[in-house]
Amino acid sequence: MSIIEQNGPEALDLQIFESLPGNFLLLSPNFQILAASDSYLELLNKTRDNLNGGFLFSFLAEANLWSSEQNAVIAESLDRVKQNGTKDELSEICFDTNEEGIGMQQRYWKIVHKPVKNNGQLRYIIHQILEVAAGIVKEDQVQEELKTAQNDEALARLQAEQMASLFHDIPAQIAIVRGPELVYDYINPQYQRELFPGREVLGMPLLTALPEVEGQPIWDVLQTVYSTGQPHIQNEMLIPLAPHKDEAVEDHYFNLVYQPLFDQSGDVYAILSFKYEVTTHVAARKALEITARGLVVANENLNKALEDLQALHEELHSASEELIASNEQLVQAQNELNVLNKDLELKITERTRELEEMFEEQQVLNEEIGAANEEMAAANEELAATNEELNETQRVLQLTLNGLTESEQRFRNLVRDATVGIVLLTGTDLHVSIVNDVYGALIGRTASELDSRRLFDVIPEAEAVFRPVIERVRDSGKPLYLYDQPYLVYKDGAAIEGFLNLIYQPYREANGSISGVMILCQDVTSQVTAKREMEKSEARFKFLLNAIPQQVWTATADGALNYVNQVVSVDFGHTIESVVGHGWQEFVHPEDLPPALDKWIRALQSGREYLTEFRLKFADGKYYWHLARAVPLIEEGKTTLWLGTNTNIHEQKTNEYKKDEFISIASHELKTPLTTIKAFFQLAKREAGEEKLLGQFVTKAEKQLSRLGRLIDDLLDVSKINAGKMTYNMEDFDFGKLLADTVESIQQTSVSHQIEINENCGTIYHGDRHRIEQVITNLLSNAIKYSPDAKQVIINCELVQQNLIVSVHDFGIGIPEEHLKGLFDRFYRVDNSSARFQGMGLGLFISAEIVKRHGGSFWI
């Protein structure tokens, strides 16, 4: 087994390390390469198989990046890290990189070695290479380095613009509403397809397109976002919507973000809506809640049935008492009848004996006998009524017993079919009175094995934990809810363990007394295990990120900052919790914050890399330039995490500023002698007179001076753009006339090409007329210059959804696709054209900046 297999980091740690936006190697203490970041592989044009498992100095020797002396310096640095256990940095080292389409380029790098410890023991060494400012490069390389830096800057801008064009492909519902009436200015296909497949909303005010939202909370939320400029983020927001106008509304639930969009003056002019529909998830959760409520209702019905049973018992007892009383009355009547019969016999005997003596007495005796007979008949009638009442009582009792049996059976069926474990424990010894198979399965038994037995005779190992809880609920009469509760029982010598969500409910008889406890159990073992694994993975993740000598941060899928490493805390002089709580807004320079947030929103919407520059305020109160880069971690096609770094580029930015300042000063200094030279050439042209040859030379030289003047003007414009001092005189003008005048002016200077306007836009446009003319002139001049063998240039202008789109089509040499992304950078030239065509590569850069200041964009 290799060292990597024994001691290497987890697979998830390697995946995170490889995604870091920087040039990193992860080394073992014996300098074996355990992992490499994607940026490092891309820089050296290597694959992961070329590096992983090998040793650093074997790789450096094979790659021949640095000299043997430089490799020795690296080895000394690594030895110092192992001996001292502290970070070690090396001064600049030069090595060449092979740039595609350009060839070998000389670049300078700083190497940083950072130890990663665990319990005081060295576990890894992070090997990082950072490109540093070219302040030590020879003076004749200044322009080339400037060109490279601007290429990177323009690439970032172009990527940001391309991200914006991918709005319609994002698998989320995106819309832009503009103005106080919230007019739909843009919707992506997902928004149209999922919400309103048979309904047109684009270009309409929100209340006109969706009248059903009037009076709903969503309308107040949108008005608040527009009026306050504060974004609104909410999960599971209810918005009733209708797929077609005037149809019945349906409930929709969304996780949404409403982000205000600001114009140049800082006022809100529109709202960006970013939504994911979660209706099905909400419905599933509500169904689960309904199931839980149903279980509660079933329990209440059970209690009601038991109350009814108790009432029937009481009625039966009352009927029995009445029956006993009737029997007693019947016995008493029978006794009285016997007494009467005996009295009658005595009287008959007496009367018979005395009959002969007195006839009148016989008559009285007959009357007494008649009365006795009447009393006997009444007693017999009363006995018959008592027998009927007894029969009716027995019939009612039988019906009551039948109803009680049906109610109990329904309750037992409910318990048996429940999807959660249910057991009813009664008596002080906790007998199992009712149990279902779901509960039995949790402890490895069947319901028949548990029924009518004492629970802790079956699972004695659980008695110490659960008996006190059950007795507390029984004694207090209050229910108890426990979540993620561990349990352990044994079956045939094997352990059964897991985690449960438990409800302990006191069980009451009809008279209100508590006779037992009903327990409801839900198995949550898989959820608890997954949660604990996630917590362990997060701890390893934070340990690795804290070891990286850069500002490292993470954000949730919706862009909320949720972690920064210790480097951020040290740089800002705040705790990690304070930085996460405040977010970047408190530390980013106010001038850099709006464009940084705009790019961040575009990255979140497109799921593409985030790249920008801004100044961060450190603990010393000073601002330092940083390059921010973040990439999404995509799992199962969805972004689950953003991983980002902030790299200190303050020294590089300072050198760039000095270079721009030098260009500005040099351009201004050249302007004055150039004006004087032009005046001298005009005098020389006048003095040449009839000398045609001299006149031709003067004319050619004058053209070259004009070209030099345009180059100086371009350099001055570049300096103004970089310094933010480019001025614009905004006014209304006829765009169609400007286009026609510009084409006419260019046509007069070009006899080799015919410029055709296929379509023109006759509309009033608000902007800087001179700067817009400068852009069109540059595009037409390039079209003519780079199509020397063609005869035609075509220009079109069309108005699409209140946007002017001007396109220029030539039939020239073309541009390789790999060079398209750099065309709008300063000093960018395509190699195969540099030798044939004149220019410094500034025209498109200036044009792009002018168009952006007018709220537009370029594409090819």
Q: What is the 3-state secondary structure (H, E, C) of 532-580?
A: HHHHHHHHHHHHHHHCCCCEEEEECCCCCEEEECHHHHHHHCCCHHHHH
Q: Residue 505 carries which DSSP code?
A: E
Who wins on pLDDT, 250 or 170?
A: 250
pLDDT band with cut points at 50, 70 and 90 for residue 839: low
pLDDT in tens, 45-77: 788 877 767 888 777 777 666 677 777 888 888
Which CA distances in Å does 366 have to 347, 390, 397? 10, 36, 47
Which CA distances in Å does 849 have to 153, 429, 592, 665, 856? 12, 85, 17, 21, 9
Q: Is the pTM of this model over 0.75?
A: no
Within 10 A of 658 (CB to CB), how many other CB atoms are there? 12
Average of per-residue pLDDT across 722-740: 80
Highest mean pLDDT, choosing among 14-28, 94-108, 173-187, 652-666: 173-187
Residues 594 and 596: their CA atoms lie apart, in Å, by 5
Residues 6+ apart with CB under 8 A from 815: 823, 830, 860
Residues 6+ apart with CB under 8 A from 672: none
| Whole-number pLDDT of residue 139 | 40
Residues 338 and 356: their CA atoms lie apart, in Å, by 28
| Whole-number pLDDT of residue 834 | 43
Both structure tokens of 33? 């390469």
The least confident of 303-312, 429-438, 642-651 is: 303-312
138: left (phi over 0), alpha (psi -120 to 50) or beta: beta
| Whole-number pLDDT of residue 694 | 64
Of residues 152, 146, 213, the one with CA closest to residue 184: 213
The SS3 assignment for 665 reads: helix
pLDDT in tens, 758-788: 888 878 889 888 888 888 888 888 888 888 8
Average of per-residue pLDDT across 813-839: 60
636: left (phi over 0), alpha (psi -120 to 50) or beta: left
pLDDT in tens, 32-46: 888 888 888 887 778
Residues 286 and 816: their CA atoms lie apart, in Å, by 57
pLDDT band with cut points at 50, 70 and 90 for residue 620: very high
| Amino acid identity for residue 679 in this structure | A
| Whole-number pLDDT of residue 194 | 77
Residues 519 and 290: their CA atoms lie apart, in Å, by 19
Residues 437 and 446: their CA atoms lie apart, in Å, by 6
Phi then psi dihedrals of residue 154, to 5 deg: -70, -35
Average of per-residue pLDDT across 563-583: 89
Average of per-residue pLDDT across 237-261: 84
Average of per-residue pLDDT across 556-572: 90
pLDDT band with cut points at 50, 70 and 90 for residue 316: low
Mean pLDDT computed over every residue of the chain: 77
In angstroms, how far is the first alpha carbon of the chain from the final one? 54
Residues 153 and 613: their CA atoms lie apart, in Å, by 9
Q: Report yes or no: 557 and 639 within 8 Å, Cβ to Cβ.
A: yes
The number of CA neighbours under 13 Å toward the Cβ of 167 is 18
Both structure tokens of 758? 């296929």
Residues 669 and 682: their CA atoms lie apart, in Å, by 21
Residue 178 burial class via C-beta count within 10 angstroms: exposed 0-12, middle 13-18, buried 19 and up = middle
Residues 838 and 847: their CA atoms lie apart, in Å, by 18
Q: How many percent of the chain have pLDDT more than 70? A: 66
Query: Is residue 603 scored above 80 in pLDDT?
Result: yes
117: left (phi over 0), alpha (psi -120 to 50) or beta: beta
Supply the DSSP string of 619-658, one letter for each residue: TTS-EEEEEEEEEEEEETTEEEEEEEEEEE-HHHHHHHHH
| Whole-number pLDDT of residue 590 | 92
Q: Residue 248 carries which DSSP code?
A: P
The SS3 assignment for 266 reads: coil
Query: Is residue 573 scored above 60 in pLDDT?
Result: yes
Query: Is residue 137 scored above 60 in pLDDT?
Result: no
Q: What angle do CA 672, 678, 680 make, to 5 degrees?
A: 110
